[in-house]
């Protein structure tokens, strides 16, 4: 499971011209589910998203989590995070989970983030979405539950 985590001042996601999720200060999280991802992968990603210390403290150091900062999370599914563009010019998505199973893992991740006490908004799985964000910093962190990076 991979995630791109961006610290934002605000972010929203729209489907067919309708806003389906919006947050103020917090984290915009793009989530890609790879074949074979399970509970341990979800727990890893949720723990990292909840506890990453990427918000500034009173001294201007990145020392606070989204919880400490009173922020929210906007979770957006993005299967292209499983893309492999090492060979040729067209990415291969062979490593991505099937849509049916990926939807289950996405929903489980969404529920786990909420169970962790985070206010969470979400995109629509498998929809064509327009995401708007004001990056704060910018601060962008890449997560991989297989710890490939």
Active site residues: 78-80
C-beta of residue 49 within 8 angstroms of C-beta of residue 94: no
Do 135 and 7 meet the contact criterion of CB atoms below 8 Å apart? yes
**Closest by alpha carbon to 38, among 2, 75, 1?**
1
CA–CA distance, 144 with 149 (Å, rounded to integer): 6
Q: What is the DSSP letter of 110?
A: H
């Amino acid at each position: 499971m991979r995630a791109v985590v961006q610290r934002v001042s605000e972010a929203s996601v729209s489907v067919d011209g309708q806003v389906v999720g919006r947050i103020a200060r917090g984290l915009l999280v793009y989530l890609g589910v790879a074949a074979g991802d399970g509970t341990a992968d979800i727990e890893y990603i949720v723990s990292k998203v909840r506890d990453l210390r990427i918000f500034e403290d009173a001294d201007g150091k990145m020392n606070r989590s989204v919880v400490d900062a009173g922020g929210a999370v906007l979770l957006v599914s993005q299967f292209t995070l499983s893309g492999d563009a090492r060979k040729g010019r067209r990415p291969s998505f062979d490593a991505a989970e099937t849509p049916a199973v990926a939807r289950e893992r996405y929903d489980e991740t969404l529920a786990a983030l909420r169970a962790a006490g985070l206010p969470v908004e979400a995109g629509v799985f498998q929809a064509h979405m327009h995401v708007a964000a004001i990056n704060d910093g910018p601060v962008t962190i890449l997560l991989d539950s297989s710890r490939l990076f």
